[in-house]
Amino acid sequence: MPEIVVGRDEEDLRKYGSEGTIYIGKHLVGTGEESHLTTPVLLDVLRPHIICLTGKRGAGKSFSLGVFVEEIHKLPEKVRNNLCCLIIDTQGIFWTMKSPNEKELVLLKDWGMKPQGFPVNVYVPEGQESIFSSAGVEYDSTFSLHPSEFSAEDWLNVFGLAANETLGILLQRAFKKLKGKFGIDDIISTVKSQEGFGTEKLSLENYFEAAKLWGIFGDSKMPEVLEPGKLTVIDVSLTPQNVRALLVSLVCEKVLEERILARRQEELAEIELSSLKRIPMPWILIDEAHNFLPSEGSTAATEVLNRIVKEGRQPGVTLVLATQRPEKLHPDALAQCDLIVSHQLTAKSDIDALRSIMQTYMLYDIGKYISELPKLKGVAIILDDNSERIYKVRMRTRQSWHAGASPVAV
Ligand SMILES: Nc1ncnc2c1ncn2[C@@H]1O[C@H](COP(=O)(O)OP(=O)(O)OP(=O)(O)O)[C@@H](O)[C@H]1O
Ligand SMILES: [Mg+2]
């Protein structure tokens, strides 16, 4: 059966055929309830991509993120070892990928697949360990940051303070005095020792006291993401949003810098794709990405994510941004997407956002394509900038357990 390969241009298609692709779903032909599934749809993983995964609540975004990760793990070793995944889990739903999806045995059979667990490496913040264990979450390791790894700007950012307000000025003054490795208590005592501030010292002290409760501080211990074939899940579900953004920025910066360095070495040594020594090319998958890379304002993660969007191709970093609201995602990120997987969307402004970035699709009415999708979970349209084509698809069922299902009241 002929296959559809998305995310691959004609030249690569001639060169590689369907090698180095993952099986994400099947082509949907026909409209509405008359639709039927035809050819397999494969996604290129040999090249870096910027993928926007969108759709309204419960349409299948997180589920599809999991499909990408499962498929990357199932690749032949020589390809898999050149890749790795980093999932930013904002809802605490990816640890269940360790277990097989027994409840969808029948659906899986239709896809010629069996339930299967996947070896995701789940990291939770060190100071939140007891909460995760008492909730029965199967995590593998913890991560932590040392308070001295945060710059004055980082603290301003997570506290939501402006640099020119009194508290901001106090914080920056205190930081000028801090050297080497210092803890939160050192920061507090330096704040207290500043001259010329009144009650502001107490207010700022309270901010830092509250930060101790985030549960992310300890001796600096960040996950090793760039290991061949490794599937890393960073669970930030219990971490406040501003702090999540800072964590994402620190992890992504490290990953990007390491890959930039590795790329330089690869170019020097002209290492072939089959070489096992290569530092793998990461797929960074971010759920609820508009909270990290919003269209208005910025977060601690905005800068590094925009850098990946603009410069990530050369070092081979793929970004998958899942969001309910494409309109709320940074316009630069949307504009650079080479692939959009859009599950059901209803807001006109969101459909317009997709339309406006994919100028090449002016010939197609994206809104019409979306409205033609049958009322089934996991259906989507794919806009592929590499082939300048648009497809209706049904994403395949997950082999691993998906924890994101809606609860029922009875
Ligand atoms: N491809 C699919 N095949 C079968 N069922 C699916 C598929 N995609 C999604 N579903 C079903 O839809 C439910 C909701 O999907 P998911 O959790 O991915 O939604 P979401 O788009 O991430 O929603 P939210 O924006 O609320 O996070 C899943 O629990 C699953 O049962
Ligand atoms: Mg979701």
Residue 95 lies in a domain: yes
61 Cβ closer than 6 Å to some ligand 1 atom: yes
Structure confidence at residue 410 as a pLDDT band (50, 70, 90): low
Distance 85 CA to ligand 1 centre (A): 20
Domain count, the chain: 2
Q: What is the DSSP letter of 96?
A: G
Which residue, 379, 375, 401, is CA-closest to 392? 379
- Residue 98 Cα to ligand 2 middle (Å): 18
> Is 123 found in the same domain as 18?
yes
- The reply to whether 10 falls in a domain is yes
Domain span holding position 27: 4-142+224-395
Q: Mind listing the pLDDT tens digit for each residue in 97-144? A: 999 999 999 999 999 999 999 999 999 999 999 999 999 999 999 999
Give the domain CATH number at 363: 3.40.50.300
Do 126 and 207 share a domain, yes or no?
Answer: no
The Cα 354–Cα 374 span in angstroms is: 20
195 and 303 inside one domain? no
Mean pLDDT of 19-31: 94
Of the bound ligands, which one is closest to the alpha carbon of residue 54? Answer: 1
Task: Sort strands 339-342 and 231-235 into parallel, antiparallel or unpaired.
Answer: unpaired
pLDDT digits (tens, 9 = 90+) for 134-150: 999 999 999 999 999 99
114 and 203 both lie in a single domain = no
- Asked if 350 contacts 52 with a C-beta cutoff of 8 angstroms, the reply is no
- CB count within 10 Å of CB 240 equals 15
Per the CB < 8 A criterion, the answer to whether 355 and 367 are in contact is: yes
CA distance 67 to 101: 12
Minimum CA distance residue for ligand 1 atom 9: 60
- Is the beta carbon of 397 within 6 A of some atom in ligand 1? yes
* Ligand in closest contact with the CA of 343: 1
As a whole number of angstroms, the distance between CA 377 and CA 397 comes to 10
Instruction: Tell me the backbone φ, ψ of residue 60, rounded to 5 degrees.
Output: 125, 15
Q: Are residues 309 and 207 in the same domain?
A: no
Q: What is the tens place of the pLDDT at every residue in 378-393?
A: 999 999 988 888 999 9
Question: What's the 407 CA to ligand 2 centre distance in angstroms?
Answer: 13
Whether the per-residue pLDDT at 404 is higher than 80: the answer is no
Q: Is 58 in the pocket of ligand 1 (CB under 6 A)?
A: yes
Greatest pairwise CA separation for the chain in angstroms: 77
Residue ID of nearest Cα to ligand 1 atom 7: 378
For residue 219, being part of any structural domain is answered with no
Ligand 1 binding pocket includes 374 (Cβ within 6 Å)? no
Element of type H or E holding 321: strand 318-323
Q: Identify any residues that bridge with 50 across adjacent strands, giving them in sequence order.
A: 319
β-bridge partners, 256: none
Residue 90, domain member (yes or no)? yes
The answer on 151 and 135 residing in a single domain is no
Residues 239 and 347 in one domain: yes
Q: Pick from 57, 120, 118: which is nearest to 86 by CA?
A: 120
Whether residue 251 sits in one domain with residue 111:
yes
Average pLDDT, stretch 337-350?
90
Task: Give the residue from 156, 177, 212 where a domain finishes.
Answer: 212
pTM of the model: 0.93
Higher per-residue pLDDT: 404 or 209: 209
Contact 378 CB / ligand 1 (< 6 Å): yes
Residues 338, 313: contact at Cβ < 8 Å?
A: no
CA separation (Å) from 345 to 154, 336, 355? Answer: 35, 20, 12
Residue 175 sits in the same domain as residue 264: no
Contact partners, residue 293, CB within 8 Å, separation at least 6: 299, 301, 302, 305, 306, 321, 329, 330, 333
Residue nearest to atom 31 of ligand 1 (CA): 405
Interval between CA 404 and ligand 2 midpoint (Å): 6
Check: CB of residue 290 under 8 Å from CB of residue 298.
no
Report yes or no on 403 lying in a domain. Answer: no
